[in-house]
Structure formats: C-alpha cells, structure tokens
C-alpha cells in the first residue's frame, strides 16, 4: 500500500502535476490543507484534487478564501496596496469551488497497514508537539477524531517545514512540507511531500519547472509584500 501525503498546495498546479508524474502509482492521496491562496492556479488545483479523489482537510487559507468570497469584495475595486493573492484567487473561482472548500472537514482519519492516522492542518499556530502529554492532550481536546487514543501517527501541514518527529518508538507526527513554497529562512525551490509505503515514511523533494509560475507572477499586480514572496520562490536564482 502506497499513500501520497501532500499539503499547502497554494494554487500551484505545476508542482502538483510534477509530483503526480513521479508518484502516480500511489493507491491513495491525502492533503493536509491550504489548497488555495498565494498562487496563480486555484481552479486547476481544485479540479485536480477532486478528479484524483484526494482526501483533504480545510486549511486556514482555504477558510480565508471562502470568507473573502462571501464578503463580496472584488479584486478590481481594491487599491493596489490591498490586493492579495486571496482576492486574486477569488476572482478565478465560482460558487461550486467555494462550496467545495467550505465543506472540507477540519480533521480526518484513515487506516493503513494496521495503523490509524489522523490529519489536520495545524496544531497551534506555528508550534510543534514536543511531548507525549501534549500529543494526547491535543487528541482529546482539539483533534475532534472521536476516540483518538488509538491514533499513533498524526499528519500536519501549515508550517511548510518538512519533518518527522518521534515522541516514542511508535508515536509520531509528521509534516510533508509545502508542495509550493518554503519559509523565508529556507530558500529551497523544490516541491516537498511525503509517501507512506507499506508503513514506511519517506520525506521527498522534487525539482520541477517553475518558469510558468514565474511568467504568471510577472504579469499580475498585487500588494508588494505578497509579490515579494512569489518572486522569492518562483523567481530566478
């Protein structure tokens, strides 16, 4: 059994398709949220995850995009210093897309090779779980998985930092990293993800063609801070 774990897609269909070309033999795909925002291809990403039957949870950027859409503000009526990727993405989506994002659950679970996994987008802001006590407390109070005591492996997104953290020999959480981009202290431009094959976790990074993203970014006009992020991770080095 091979499972593909992705997160923080951020409207980057280029990286997503490159990963699938590499991992198309996966039996199932799970996503830890943030399908949209901070990237140019939201509809393409939403179409892809639905057509490939990806099991997704809702990320904070997914929820934010829904709120922007429901507020009724448009990109065209906003001054340049207020234009964000969120409103850019809203301008490319329709009611069907928004309803899909709206109905995504906060947490899901699945079983593979006799192990029960949980998935949610974030723990507490950008903090990490550092103890067994904190892990069990999270399952009991925040994870909303029902009987969470049997979940020995939990998957998070949000931080964009690829990691596996063992709390004991059999208890761990993992983050596949972001399909799309890193944090400012990590200039890597590859797509990050993970696979679980017959119970074995592998963290992977894949170089892909970022030129289409670069061309798109050079053609849009958004607030400076958000343009700078896109140029940093999709621009030339």
pLDDT at 70: 93
CB 31 within 8 A of CB 9: yes
pLDDT at 143: 66
Question: Residue 148 and residue 141: Cα distance in Å, rounded?
Answer: 10
Taking the model in full, what pTM does it have? 0.95
Span between the terminal Cα atoms of the chain, in Å: 38
pLDDT at 144: 62
Backbone angles phi, psi at 109, to 5 degrees: -130, 160
Alpha-carbon distance values, 4 to 1, 23, 69 (Å) = 10, 7, 30
Alpha helices in 75-145 (DSSP H): 85-90, 95-102, 132-141
DSSP 8-state secondary structure symbol assigned to residue 53: T
Q: What domains are there in the chain, each with its CATH number?
A: 2-234 (3.60.21.10)
| pLDDT tens, N- to C-terminus, the chain (237 residues) | 999 999 999 999 999 999 999 999 999 999 999 999 999 999 999 999 999 999 999 999 999 999 999 988 777 778 888 889 999 999 999 999 999 999 999 999 999 999 999 999 999 999 999 999 999 889 887 666 555 558 999 999 999 999 999 999 989 999 999 999 999 899 899 999 999 999 999 999 999 999 999 999 999 989 999 998 898 889 887
pLDDT at 147: 55
pLDDT at 118: 94
Question: Residue 136 and residue 147: Cα distance in Å, rounded?
Answer: 11
Question: Residue 182 and residue 192: Cα distance in Å, rounded?
Answer: 9
pLDDT at 236: 87
């Amino acid at each position: 059994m091979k499972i593909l774990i992705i997160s923080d897609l951020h409207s980057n269909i280029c990286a997503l398709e490159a990963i699938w070309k590499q991992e198309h033999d996966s039996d199932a795909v799970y996503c830890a949220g943030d399908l949209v925002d901070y990237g140019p291809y939201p509809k393409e990403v939403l179409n892809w995850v639905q057509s490939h039957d990806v099991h997704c949870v809702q990320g904070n950027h997914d929820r934010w995009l829904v709120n922007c859409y429901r507020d009724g503000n448009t990109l065209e009526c906003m001054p340049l210093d207020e234009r964000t990727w969120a409103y850019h993405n809203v301008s490319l989506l329709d009611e069907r897309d928004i309803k899909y994002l709206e109905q995504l659950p906060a947490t899901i679970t699945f079983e593979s090779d006799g192990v029960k996994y949980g998935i949610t987008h974030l723990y507490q802001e950008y903090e990490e779980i550092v103890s067994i006590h904190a892990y069990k407390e999270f399952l009991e109070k925040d994870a909303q998985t029902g009987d969470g005591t049997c979940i020995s492996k939990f998957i998070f997104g949000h931080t964009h930092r690829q990691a596996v953290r063992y709390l004991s020999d059999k208890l761990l959480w993992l983050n596949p990293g972001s399909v799309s981009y890193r944090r400012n202290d990590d200039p890597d431009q590859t797509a990050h993800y993970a696979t679980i094959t017959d119970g074995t976790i592998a963290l992977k990074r894949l170089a892909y063609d970022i030129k289409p993203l670069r061309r798109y970014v050079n053609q849009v006009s958004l607030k400076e801070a958000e343009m700078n992020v896109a140029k940093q991770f999709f621009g030339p080095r």
